[in-house]
Amino acid sequence: MPEVRLRHAPAGPVLESEALRLAVRLDEGIFSLTRADSRDEVIRNAWTGVALADGVSLASRGAGFDVERVEPVEDAHGRGRALTLHRRTAAGEPHLALTLTLYEEQPFAVLQSRLANTTGRPLRVQAFHVLQAGPLPHAQAGDWRFYKHGWQSFSPTITVSADDDDIPPFPPIVDPATRPQGQGLISDLVAALAEPASGQTITAGFVSAADQFSQVWLDREDAALTAASYADGVELAAAAELSSERVAVDITSNPMSALLRYGDALAREMGAVSWAHIVTGWCSWYHYFGQVSEDDILANLERLVELRDGLPLEYVQVDDGFQAGIGDWLTANEKFPHGMAWLAGRIHERGFKAGLWLAPFLAGARSRLFADHPDWVVRDEAGGPVVAIQNWEQLCYALDCTRPEVIDWLEHVFRTVTDDWGYDYVKIDFIYAAAVEGVRRDAGATRAQAYRRGLEAIRRAVGGRFVLGCGAPIGPSIGLVNGMRIGPDVAPFWHPQARLGRRISLSLPAAANALRSAITRFWRHNRLWLNDPDCLLLRDSETALTP
């Protein structure tokens, strides 16, 4: 039976599993990670740190570590041993600790930082730099390939050379505003760094994601890697504690297996929910777009009945175009004169399950929702409403999901849609809106926590029905959606129509962009949820696609 062993070297404790060796140099406040079958340090001169909102930063490197405790652990990843170190603290400083865990039957290490406010006054915590390491072996950054993972459904996920310029976010909502200074590459939630000549791969990915957004940075000038967990400046009261998310570090010669292993670990820790089978259906969007009508749905419903033997679909989904306004989901417009409950009944009568699209975290500037409840939206520092997107020929604002009345409203909307109207499936779109930066009623909530509160309200309301996330931040969605859009909209053309430059336009609707994300985000499927690569377009007209 494999075990995790602890031994004491002159410089400090050494923790060893079947796969990894973790060596600490207490007086320097650093540690290294090495494959157990090698003497070469892959992660070396590593340390932990925290950035406070007032600009003060604390780091273990240079300050030194002391051993706080060593203890056996048993969690979602199995049994192992955890070593907790604390930074040697000067008078008046808060207490920073780092827990490093190795497992008996997992080849990765898991790291988590913790800050205890021992200063006697409140502190605002901006970010944990859970892992900072460098320089990496093979000093030339151009020798490495970097797997860059996007923040939300539409954000590009792509592998680039480590000496490439980073891909700029477009539009701004595709990436959080949290971006470190300096030259390098930024990946959200997880990154993999591979050296093709040797096959050496470092995969660093956060296996918890419910409370804080996270990123992995590669600083190409210093050949250094940082795994950051964002506390968003929340206040930490005197004597209170705050922990980072947990990051797994996997050192392997097989990057594909490392991504699959990471997906399994993330799913275990976050309690992922998938679905028993691959769902199939017809969606109104790519033919009718926002002009869809009740008559269009009924006509296609009859055609689907005729084709059922050769095309046995499960769902008929009404997409954008039924609602009176963005936010006014319970009022159908004049194109749906019989209402949405009546239409769900017709879909069921023809032997299909009914699906409905909503963008629940948006309030359009022209909506009745915003007119009646302008205080429900996230505000900027000047007090103005935060724009989540400009679409539907109007500004659309982000709902503040830390407000109890917003949570009550969300539950009412989705209970009406599912319990009263009878819809079996909901597609929730542009839901990154709940995670925009801004001022919320609960100043102690991070962006990730605010977003997840809204998503939890929807899940409570719909129960065990199928929920498809779209335009969704990846990490905090896990465990609450059954399916997830994994790329930009598909389109009846290969490349984006807007002339914005190839790298800027990777998030725009285009068949090539959708296909790229289906490939680069393969490892999520049937681990975190069912991957949704977007619709398959079957047509011989109104298309610019060529073989």
> What number is the average pLDDT over the span 132-146?
75
Helix, strand counts (H, E) of the chain = 8, 30
> What number is the average pLDDT over the span 205-215?
97
pLDDT digits over 335-387, tens only?
A: 999 999 999 999 999 999 999 999 999 999 999 999 999 999 999 999 999 99
Using the Cα atoms of residue 342, residue 346, residue 351 and residue 356 in order, give the sign of their dihedral.
Answer: negative
What pLDDT is attached to residue 188?
95
pLDDT at position 21 over 70: yes
Q: Is 429 part of the annotated catalytic residue set?
A: yes
What's the CA gap between 531 and 346, in Å, rounded? 29
pLDDT at position 416 over 80: yes
When pLDDT is cut at 50, 70 and 90, the band that residue 39 belongs to is confident
pLDDT digits over 297-349, tens only?
A: 999 999 999 999 999 999 999 999 999 999 999 999 999 999 999 999 999 99
pLDDT digits over 172-198, tens only?
A: 555 555 666 666 899 999 999 998 877
When pLDDT is cut at 50, 70 and 90, the band that residue 141 belongs to is low
pLDDT digits over 431-481, tens only?
A: 999 999 999 999 999 999 999 999 999 999 999 999 999 999 999 999 999
In sequence order, the β-bridge partners of residue 483 are 468, 530
Chain position carrying tokens 């950054």: 141
CB 4 within 8 A of CB 102: yes
First to last CA, the chain: 54
The amino acid occupying position 70 is V
Q: Which residues contact 276 (CB under 8 A, 6 or more apart)?
A: none
What pLDDT is attached to residue 222?
84
CATH (residue range 281-481): 3.20.20.70
What pLDDT is attached to residue 139?
46
For 327, phi then psi, to 5°, come to 120, -20
Judged by average pLDDT, the poorest of 4-13, 141-150, 422-431 is: 141-150
What pLDDT is attached to residue 460?
98
pLDDT at position 168 over 80: no
pLDDT digits over 214-243, tens only?
A: 999 999 888 899 999 999 999 999 999 999
| 3-state SS class at 239 | coil
Q: Provide the b/e sequence for 82-118 (b: ≥16 CB within 10 Å).
A: bbbbbbbbeeeebbbbbbbbbbbebbbbbbbbbbbbe
What pLDDT is attached to residue 199?
78
Say what the pTM is: 0.97
What's the CA gap between 13 and 6, in Å, rounded? 7
Residue 168: is it exposed, middle or buried by C-beta count within 10 angstroms (0-12/13-18/19+)? middle
- Which is catalytic among the residues 211, 429, 532, 534? 429
CATH (residue range 9-270): 2.70.98.10
Spans of all domains in the chain: 9-270, 281-481
- Cα–Cα nearest to 229, from 69, 9, 385, 449: 449
* % of the chain surpassing 70 pLDDT: 95
Q: What value, to the nearest 5°, has the Cα angle with vertex 146 and ends 142 and 147?
A: 165
Judged by average pLDDT, the poorest of 171-180, 270-279, 430-439, 501-510 is: 171-180
Q: Is 188 part of the annotated catalytic residue set?
A: no
What's the CA gap between 532 and 284, in Å, rounded? 16
- Cα–Cα nearest to 424, from 320, 339, 483, 354: 354
> What number is the average pLDDT over the span 498-511?
80
What pLDDT is attached to residue 546?
86
What's the CA gap between 164 and 148, in Å, rounded? 12
What pLDDT is attached to residue 173?
55
Per-residue tokens: 287: 């033919």
> What number is the average pLDDT over the span 524-543?
95
pLDDT at position 504 over 80: no
Residue 389: is it exposed, middle or buried by C-beta count within 10 angstroms (0-12/13-18/19+)? buried
Q: What is the largest CA-CA distance in the chain?
A: 79
What pLDDT is attached to residue 38?
84
What's the CA gap between 391 and 66, in Å, rounded? 54
- Which is catalytic among the residues 489, 532, 534, 540? 489
